[in-house]
Structure 1
């Protein structure tokens, strides 16, 4: 199994919340090596930390692992802000060595250009009412709480894991309509910027497909799907699901120095 990639994209880890799978993130990052690690928004959940969230040692270990990748493997780390970590707006843009923090970027690889953004720009297109986003967050938090109870019962009965929120998304017409609109609109944004594809997160739905000639990639999340996007040296992208990995066959990556390469980003104008 391949363990060395050119680029890995993670999004929606939501550190600071009960639902965040921080231990799994650390274990995942120990198995793989990459030249570029893109943290595509909602890595820290500032919204929940302001309300009822709490920061645990396991959340700190995620950043300890990322810093080790920078120090030992010379991994270039790009942290893009999402709507839940919008507190980063106070320091954007910021670049320190192999770590940069910014709003979005254009990634160029193997002759193709990808616009990478968390995806909450779609919410700005459809509505400027911030309270709607908070209301949606409250509903999702409740579904996660209920999902924990449901799966506790299912485990006792010997039944497999069931994602309540994913089920609701697939059945509720408004949710399906939102996702379809989200994917289509982001592809339009990518095309307007002269890009071949869009890489995003935000809606917690991992996906790889083509929409009207634009490559649409969504890295999913680390609350339920536990998924990541990975690009090999030939420019081929794939989704990796933590729950499908056989860690007995995946050898942890050994730290070694990777020669520094040219930065993969270039400045972008802010959205008007």
Structure 2
């Protein structure tokens, strides 16, 4: 069943959360990010880590015009009065030295506590501090990053062939996250660790990124929200004005909007709202 979109162009939210844009890499979906930001407004925008990929840029410089456009879009939002907060992750850890400062209208934070319209309190953090591999074997994280880059490059050629055959886009990375036991376990372990760390801090939940797997679910009394990424899934978390949090899958939504001039809510459509 085709999902009917829940948002229309130029929709305004109370808050928008973006993570794992990975500017500086060939697989960054900067054009889609700019398109999304052009069509959505918010009182507050959180950039929750790995916005710029310092790891990749150290190896080879890659910065096309679309990546400049993404940076200019962020600056524009801040200039027009949106409160923009940048919370660095592991790939842009070099930004952490500027925590507590404001650059081009963007405030740099180590972490944040976000209170929703209905009074719930969430820790906002990239999440790499909860990754056992990052903390204890960083060389393995670099190796994993190389494998992920290989998988994305393989996707490019594979989907070129699929396109010639009239088949839809298929993601090797997304397939692995859903079906390969080791990836499923890694994601599950990360979610469990995050929820356990948040419990006892007088918080209702956590909003993070890092593992490129968008999710919104309750875990033993803690609302675990993962923003996803702008490399494969092109997802964002938005807070509605009543405090409800929703996962937006922008590529699906933008395609659906091309076919619905006045979108109406399908009662069977999962809004992914909490």
When the two structures are superposed, what TM-score results if normalisation uses the length of structure 2?
0.86
Q: How does 1:69-148 map to 2 (within 5 A)?
A: 69-72=77-80, 74-95=81-102, 98-109=105-116, 110-124=118-132, 127-148=135-156
Structure 1 regions of 5+ residues with no counterpart? 252-272
Give CA deviations for 1:212-232 in whole Å, capped at 9, x if unaligned. Answer: 111111111000000100001
1:240 equivalent in alignment to 2:248: yes
Q: What is the distance in 2 between the residues matched to 1:116 and 1:124?
A: 19
Q: How does 1:38-49 map to 2 (within 5 A)?
A: 38-49=46-57
The equivalent of 1:258 in structure 2 is none
1:181 equivalent in alignment to 2:189: yes
Q: What is the distance in 2 between the residues matched to 1:250 and 1:70?
A: 30
Q: What is the distance in 2 between the residues matched to 1:158 and 1:93?
A: 51
Give, in angstroms, the shift of residue 125 of structure 1: 7.7
The equivalent of 1:201 in structure 2 is 209
Query: Alpha carbons of 1:117 and 1:250: their partners in 2 closer, same or farther (altered >3 Å)?
Result: farther
> Do the aligned partners of 1:104 and 1:116 also contact (CA within 8 Å) in 2?
yes
Give CA deviations for 1:129-183 in whole Å, capped at 9, x if unaligned. Answer: 2101111101100000001111111111111111101112223222111111100
Moved over 6 A (4+): none
Residue number among 170, 182, 200 corresponding to 1:162 in the alignment? 170
The equivalent of 1:265 in structure 2 is none
Give, in angstroms, the shift of residue 97 of structure 1: 7.9
The equivalent of 2:20 in structure 1 is 12
When the two structures are superposed, what TM-score results if normalisation uses the length of structure 1?
0.87
Give, in angstroms, the shift of residue 127 of structure 1: 4.3
Q: What is the distance in 2 between the residues matched to 1:210 and 1:53?
A: 41
Q: What is the distance in 1 between the residues matched to 2:104 and 2:155?
A: 41
Q: How does 1:246-257 map to 2 (within 5 A)?
A: 246-248=256-258
Residue number among 24, 27, 39 corresponding to 2:35 in the alignment? 27
Q: Secondary structure at the match of 1:107?
A: strand
